[in-house]
Structure 1
Amino acid sequence: MTAPIAIENVRPEINCGRYPAKTIEGQDFYVSAEIFKSGHDLVYAVLKYRKKGKRRWNIIPMDSNPNDIFTAKFKTDGIGFYEYTIEAWKDSYGSLLKDIQSWYNAGENVEEDLKVIMEIIRYSYNNSRGDDKKFLRSSINEFKKLNVDKKIEMLKDQNFSAIVKKYQKKPEKTGYCKNLWLISDPVYGGYASWYELFPRSLGNDGRSGTLRDLINHLGYVKSMNFNVIYLTPIHPIGITNRRGKNGSRTASPGDPGSPWAIGNSSGGHYSINPELGTMDDFEDLVKSAEKLGIKIAMDIAFQCSPDHPYVHDHPEWFYHRLDGSIRYAENPPKKYYDIYPLNFEIKNKKALWNEMRNIIIYWINHGIRIFRIDNPHTKPLDFWEWLLNEIKSRYPDVVFLAEAFTKENLMFELSKRGFTMSYTYFTWRVTPEEITSYFSELNSEPLNYFFRPMLFTNTPDILGKDLWKGRNEFIIRAVLASTLSPLWGIYSGFELCENDHLGDTEEYLNSEKYEIKHRDFDSPGNIKDIISKLNIIREENPALKTHGNIYFCETTNNSILAYARYSQDFKNIVLVILNMDTDNVQSGYVRVPLGTLKINNYIYDAVDVLNNNKYKWNGEYNYVRLIPGKRQAHIMVIKC
């Protein structure tokens, strides 16, 4: 089929339309394309979108911009899957109006041409309805009374021309060659502040903490203004080959083992470790957290201890050695004797895949809407595409975080296949140059259409070497994580600046993965107040709630990092400026790109909402002086 109008370079379009783009419920979703035809006639284009399963399209006129670029935006009316596409046709009204204006300016008689354009208007009137019809009827009657100048002025009126174009004929109508997909996630799929903890570490007097203890601890987490609590695995823990302190091969009596070695005689993935409590306790936790505006995120690790019921009931689900024994988990040079990995590519994989889906659904039915998936990059891509589509089609309010520290292409592919958000290399991006390069990439097209970065300052597995420097570095990393992405989180103890490390490794000394911790949550030197303030700043500034909107600013000092975050309408602009040197005062000039950020005033206020100061700034270059221990960073809200 021939296409008289070219519709090209439609954005976003992920892998030629194979995968959906992502948006958040309530946020504007922008679509653009290059649309043009031969000759001098103008083109009229519309964006069409609808929710999956609906027959009727919502239609939005696209704005014409220089270089044949057309743009439009819409907000999804709920969560779930959508499709969108573009149609275009010759703009008879706009083309003739352009010619009339040109002829009239050249002194030509345009009376006959005005009669022709009136026929277009009458056609639109005859096909219009409701208020549009009333408006056109009144306008036609008024048009007859006007002189040529006023007639042309009326024809150019934006509201009038929009209604005429809405109902005019559609010669040379051309549709884009495909419908594209979009997934609209709930807000917590794109904007959230996470706090990770081990429930067993919340007990007193040396005993294991319980889910009831966690209910009592909710107020502490809420005081720092986090809105998601991420639980490490809460299932029964294996006995066989249980790992001891600091991950040693041999456990001592009383060692609790790693929660990621799932399953014993008490049950597996459907069960709660009896030491933590009961299902009633769990459901009370979910409800109690919800009352405080906190969602519970659950860790899902599709792996088993040697004591898991699956080992007895479904030995065919595991990898086997030549001697018939089940193979332990391996990540050379390490072997994990307390864990058996599942084999997702067995001959009869359907039963295993269905069981993994049923685990997710089971916990959904007990109130969970956020899942953190452990090591998804070690399972087949087609499994994830199937599983995530199965869940999202039934439960569109469920979101998934991919804990995938792997090569970039695989990390990005997992997001395309359905993961809502993903871990990143943030931990290992430390210098201003590294941060600028990495986050410029993550905020660029097409990544920003489908990859949502989750920035954890630390994890039970990773204590970044930069944090060994102490409290000032903890502040730097908290400011970075909370302002570089709308998704950020900390692992418990970060607010206390815990940084004892195992030798020269990124592992924690006396890792909480293998023992119960008892913390003084009011210990001196903590940064709880700073973290609380960061989360308040995030909540109050729309610029920090979206992804893909960052501009790294020039500075005259290589130790100072500066970047601007801005809302889609540029009504909210946040400028983050950090001294990346934890020991020395650093000063210099920061360039604020007034034109790029649409700041129209030469003199404007820079309100430091982190330190409660206000500055009067002039033009693009402004001076800053940052003092470790006193003022490590500015977070400026620009008022103009």
Structure 2
Amino acid sequence: MTARADLRLGITDVAPVVSCGSFSARAVVGEHLPVTATVFREGHDAVAADVVWTAPDGTRAPLNRMARFGQEPDRWLTTVVPDREGRWTFRVEAWSDPLATWHHAVEVKIAAGQGPEDLANDLEEGARLLDRVAAEADGEPRSRLTDAAAALRDTSLELTARVAPALAPALQEYLHEHPVRELVTQGPEYEVWVDRTEALFGSWYEFFPRSEAPVVDGTPTHGTFATAAERLPGVAEMGFDVVYLPPIHPIGTVNRKGPNTAQFPGGNPYDIGPDDVGSPWAIGSAEGGHDAVHPALGTMEDFRAFVARTRELGMEVALDFALQAAPDHPWVEAHPEWFTTKPDGTIAYAENPPKKYQDIYPINFDNDPEGIYAECLRVIRVWMDAGVRIFRVDNPHTKPLNFWHWLIWEVKKTDPDVLFLAEAFTRPAMMHQLARIGFTQSYTYFTWRTERGELEDYGRELASNAHYMRPNFFVNTPDILHESLQFGGPPMFKIRAVLAAMMSPTWGVYAGFELFEHVAVRPGSEEYHESEKYSLRPRDWAGAEAAGRSLAPYLRRLNEIRRAHPALQQLRTLRFHAVDNPHLICFSKTDPASQDAVLVVVNLSSHNTQIGTTALDLAALGLDWYERFTVTDELSGASYDWGQYNYVELDPYREPAHVFSITHPRPVQVPPALS
């Protein structure tokens, strides 16, 4: 290996860097992105470092000076803030700092009792350094620099009078901003892909348009985009930003699944009638494929109208992108090579033993990848043209990583605002790699994390990887009704909503959560009884809320709090605090730009009142250990005088959580968060 001769000074451990620079780190517009590095050199001369921060159009920002931080003497930090979407780059430049070296030498020698004769060379060296800075200065700064240099050379003055002008705080501040940089050493260049802010922060609501229609003579009718649009004001009223729709394409008729299919893993024994709607994920029939709209929902123009209405209400549509086909999908006849053929000549359907999905054919990406890639990109662009800018990708972990990397960045080349959510309930290595290669967000293990220890461990993992992996905490999905919701009662629905909405900058709810739907298809299952995946499921939203049997007002309040507090729109600043009861969890989030700070305490038990004492890490909140401050509960409106140690009592049947905003007589200096 050939050594790099230009690396005069040491630059290591640069962050944020993903896979040694193989992939881009991530940020969003306006986010304060910490950049850290280890910078060092031989000997005792002072070193310093800058970050060179370059915009997508090649424009370089002014050098961003780094500062030492933490316990290690050679660790350096600064913060950069992107102001537009696209591919940014940064590099760390290390350099010898002769002004700092001179400053330190003069101070220690004077402190050691050395006189003007001993410091003659030091004083002249300092004067020459000031002359170098003065040559580039104008006006009043130049006068101060030349006067300070003259004082260093004036042998008629006392030693302290000679050095005082050069060490004056005002001049030192100017010299910090206009340093003498020697032995400049450039580190490698790294990429940061910057998305729009919705890539990090948002509230998602999932519902099936086909279930939004009247019940006639006791029988549900099939909804359309027009009837589904009537649900949109209610979703907007709850404060959601994104309306996520399952697949809206024609549904296969061959091997169509009927109601409660999940109750019978080997297949549904019911006779499928003409009114059984099937699974939206069994995509394609004689009526069209992935680029078509299910005729029962309406036309493409009806869908465009639905998208437009969503935007009128301050939201946007996320559409499911599921790469699989029903047996009667047009692809099966036109491109049988895109699927796997068994020895008996039949096409393999999807299986996850003991479950069988006879209504779905997986795509084999090893057969004709060029043709498959081109068709998938074409389909994506069809829906982009219809107004979709967010895609929730179904089971991306079952498709090749290089395909996703190609597809996502082909789209980003022309449309950097398009976002991709990975529905990847899979092994950690695959989940993280999907994020590295380009997915904007990812479903997470939050649904199955219920104990304090596992919630804290998982929260720390996500915060430490915030430079490339952004979570979306869904409290439930059409596939996942966690046992905590099945048996925890209404308080558990509040608990899970608070945890998801406050811990993660992006969270999601599947329709029915606000109505406390909690009945599983069978004991031990996470599938809903009468799953909406296989049948229409109309709901009386207004009636439930009028009767006080809806969580909608609570969800509305959580989303209001999230919008009001920039701290809750962050991930990397998540910090956990000690509390002496394992059934209580305490965490905080801060925002370095607004100096906003929010402190949350949640009772994890939905059946019992829990009491405990917090031991807050006040430094994480920008406070000293001895300080008192006012906390105001954003849920109840109550205010308390708090400090490091505080008594907490939470009754889940009254209110299982505190969401505290912090008021302090002086501005809270929020510490930087590190990747």
Partners of 1:405 and 1:424 within 8 A in 2: yes
Counterpart secondary structure, 1:245: coil
Q: Given the superposition, is the C-alpha separation of residues 624 and 168 from structure 1 closer, same or farther in structure 2, using an over 3 Å criterion?
A: closer
Measured against aligned partners, the alpha-carbon deviations of 1:241-260 in whole angstroms (never above 9, x if no partner) come to 11101122642220111000
Q: Secondary structure at the match of 1:312?
A: helix
Contact 1:80 1:396 in 2 (8 A): yes
Structure 1 unmatched runs, 5+? none
- Is there any run of 5+ residues in structure 2 with no aligned partner, and where? 152-156, 262-267, 665-675
Distance of aligned partners of 1:150 and 1:335 in 2 relative to their CA distance in 1, 3 Å threshold = farther
For 1:24-423, what aligned pairs fall within 5 Å after superposition? 24-52=28-56, 54=58, 56=60, 58-65=62-69, 67-105=73-111, 106-109=113-116, 110=119, 112-126=121-135, 128=136, 133-143=138-148, 149=160, 152-156=163-167, 160-161=171-172, 163-164=174-175, 170-176=181-187, 178-205=188-215, 206-247=220-261, 248=268, 250-346=271-367, 348-423=368-443
CA–CA distance in structure 1, aligned partners of residues 502 and 532 of structure 2: 28
Aligned partner of 1:512 in structure 2 is 532
Aligned CA distance change for structure 1 residues 151 and 52 (closer, same or farther; 3 Å)? farther
For 2:656 and 2:552, the matched residues in 1 are separated by: 16
Tell me the number of residue pairs that the alignment of Structure 1 and Structure 2 aligns: 631
Which amino acid is 1:123 matched to? R
In structure 1, distance between residues paired with 2:594 and 2:616: 14
- Contact (CA 8 Å) 2:99, 2:126: kept in 1 or not? yes
Alpha-carbon distance, 1:626 to partner:
1.0
Aligned to 1:474: 493
Output the CA distance in 1 between the equivalents of 2:199 and 2:470: 9
* 1:236–1:149 CA distance, 2 compared to 1 (3 A): farther
Give the counterpart letter for 1:108 in structure 2. Answer: G
Deviation per CA, 1:195-248: give whole Å up to 9, x if none.
000001111132211111222221100111011110111111111111101122
Separation in structure 2 between the aligned mates of residue 238 and residue 159 of structure 1, nearest angstrom = 75
Given candidates 510, 526, 547, the residue that maps to 1:491 is 510
- Identity among equivalent positions (%) equals 36
Deviation at 1:288, TM superposition (A): 1.8
| TM superposition score normalised by structure 2 | 0.90
Matched, 1:585 2:596: no
Residue 30 of structure 1 and its aligned partner are, at CA, apart by 0.7
Q: 1:151 to 1:482 in 2, by over 3 A?
A: farther
Q: Which moved more, 1:47-56 or 1:422-431?
A: 47-56
* Secondary structure in 1 matching 2:27: strand
Q: After the TM superposition, which of the residue ranges 563-572 and 602-611 deviates more from structure 2?
A: 563-572
* Matched letter for residue 485 of structure 2: L
Structure 1 stretch 502-511 or stretch 311-320: which is displaced more? 311-320
Counterpart of 1:189, as a letter, is A
Distance, in Å, in 1 between the alignment partners of 2:240 and 2:103 is: 56
CA distance in 2, matches of 1:43, 1:388: 41
Q: What is the distance in 1 between the residues matched to 2:569 and 2:96?
A: 39
Q: Please give the alpha-carbon distance, in whole angstroms, between the structure 2 residues aligned to 1:498 and 1:156.
A: 70
Closer/same/farther in 2, CA of residues 349 and 589 from structure 1, 3 Å limit: same
Bigger CA drift: 67-76 or 117-126? 117-126
- Structure 1 contact 125–164 (Cα < 8 Å) conserved: no
2:127–2:148: 8 Å Cα contact kept in structure 1? no
Check conservation: 1:85, 1:179, Cα contact below 8 A: yes
The AA in structure 1 aligned to 2:338 is W
Comparing 150-159 with 211-220, which one deviates more in the overlay?
150-159
- The one-letter code of the counterpart of 1:124 is V
Aligned with residue 476 of structure 2, among 458, 466, 476:
458
- Counterpart contact for 1:49–1:57, Cα < 8 Å: yes
Alignment-mate amino acid for residue 141 of structure 2:
L
For 1:529 and 1:335, how far apart are their aligned partners in 2?
40
* Structure 1 pair 570–278 and aligned structure 2 pair: CA distance change class (3 A): closer
Residue 599, structure 1, aligned to residue 608, structure 2 = no
What CA distance in whole angstroms lies between the structure 1 residues aligned with 2:440 and 2:189?
Answer: 21
Supply the RMSD in Å over aligned alpha carbons.
2.0
The 1:162–1:312 alpha-carbon spacing in structure 2 relative to 1, beyond 3 Å, is farther
Q: CA deviation at 1:567?
A: 2.0
Give distance in 2, aligned partners of 1:349 and 1:433: 44
Measure the CA separation in 2 of the matches of 1:276 and 1:36.
64
What SS does structure 1 have at the residue aligned with 2:587?
Answer: strand
| More deviation, 560-569/504-513 | 560-569
Change (3 A) 1:42 1:597: same
Q: Report the Cα offset of residue 443 of structure 1.
A: 1.9
Comparing 250-259 with 500-509, greater Cα deviation is found at 250-259
1:604-632 CA-to-partner distances (Å, cap 9, x unmatched) read: 11111111111122x31111111121121
Distance 1:439 1:513 in 2: 31
Distance, in Å, in 2 between the alignment partners of 1:150 and 1:228 is 66
Corresponding residue SS for 2:231:
helix
Matched residues in 1 for 2:426 and 2:324: separation? 18
Q: Secondary structure at the match of 2:182?
A: coil
Measured at CA, do residues 236 and 592 of structure 1 come closer, stay the same or move farther in structure 2, by a change above 3 Å?
same
TM-score of the aligned structures, taking structure 1 as reference length: 0.94
The alignment status of 1:503 with 2:522, answered yes or no, reads: yes
**Quick check: 2:586–2:600 contact (8 Å CA) kept in 1?**
yes
CA distance in 2, matches of 1:222, 1:256: 28
Deviation, 1:450, is 1.0
**8 Å Cα contact 1:123-1:168 kept in structure 2:** no
Distance 1:107 1:114 in 2: 12
The CA distance in 1 between the partners of 2:175 and 2:120, in whole Å, is 20
Secondary structure (helix, strand or coil) at the match of 1:299 reads strand
CA 1:152–1:497: 2 relative to 1, 3 Å: farther
The secondary structure found in structure 2 opposite 1:82 is: strand
Question: For each residue in 1:289-343, what CA deviation from the matched residue of structure 2 results, as whole angstroms up to 9, or x when unmatched?
Answer: 2122101111100111111111111111111111332211122222211111111
Deviations 1:27-60, CA, capped at 9 Å, x for gaps? 1111011101111111121101213452746521
- Asked whether the 8 Å contact 1:403–1:423 carries over to 2, the reply is yes
| Contact 2:130/2:149 (<8 A) preserved | no
1:421-460 equivalences in 2 (<5 Å): 421-444=441-464, 447-460=465-478
1:542 deviates by 1.4
Look up the equivalent residue of 2:425 and give its one-letter code.
Answer: F
Q: Residues 193 and 227 of structure 1 are in contact (CA less than 8 Å); yes or no, is this contact kept in structure 2?
A: yes
Shift in CA distance, 635/535, structure 1 to aligned 2, threshold 3 Å: same
Q: Deviations over 1:575-630 (max 9, x none)?
A: 1111222122221212222233222462211111111111122x311111111211
